[in-house]
């Protein structure tokens, strides 16, 4: 399966560069970004494809061992990075933290809203 259209931003983020940028942190209702539960950000065990959504991961937590471990280890004190693309906020960094917050029934999550200018400045070269 090719990269899902909603995730095709035209660039790949250099996470260490992005983490180094001082961006305000907001706390928002998870309901504002819950559409991300249905976006296949991850790969199912034994595949190399965009075929696992956070919702599927939560449902199959005992089967998806690699990502389940990442979710368990995710630290919710760190915000997720979201980017407005094609009319929706998508996750640039923090899918496992987002999944953990949803799995734990949190109502809010810390986010950093990444502007186009910052996204372009922190893309991989």
Number of domains, the chain: 1
CATH number at residue 72: 3.90.1530
Question: Which residues lie closer than 8 Å to 37 by C-beta, 6 or more apart?
Answer: 53, 54, 55, 102
The residue among 48, 75, 46, 44 whose CA lies nearest residue 57 is 44
Question: Which residues lie closer than 8 Å to 116 by C-beta, 6 or more apart?
Answer: none
pLDDT in tens, 48-75: 778 899 999 999 999 999 999 999 999 9
How many other C-beta atoms are found inside a 10 Å radius of the C-beta of residue 16? 8
Give the structural domain span for 17: 5-121
Tell whether the model's pLDDT for residue 9 goes beyond 80.
no
pLDDT in tens, 77-93: 999 999 999 999 999 99
């Amino acid at each position: 399966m090719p990269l899902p259209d909603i995730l095709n931003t035209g660039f790949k983020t250099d996470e260490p560069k992005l983490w180094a940028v001082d961006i305000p942190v907001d706390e928002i209702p998870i309901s504002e970004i819950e559409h991300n539960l249905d976006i296949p950000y991850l790969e199912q065990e034994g595949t190399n494809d965009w075929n696992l959504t956070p919702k599927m991961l939560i449902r199959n937590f005992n089967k998806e061992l690699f990502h389940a471990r990442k979710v368990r280890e995710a630290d919710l004190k760190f915000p997720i990075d979201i980017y407005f693309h094609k009319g929706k906020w998508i996750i640039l960094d923090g899918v496992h933290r987002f999944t953990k917050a949803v799995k734990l029934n949190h109502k809010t999550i810390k986010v950093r809203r990444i502007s186009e200018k910052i996204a372009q400045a922190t893309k991989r070269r």
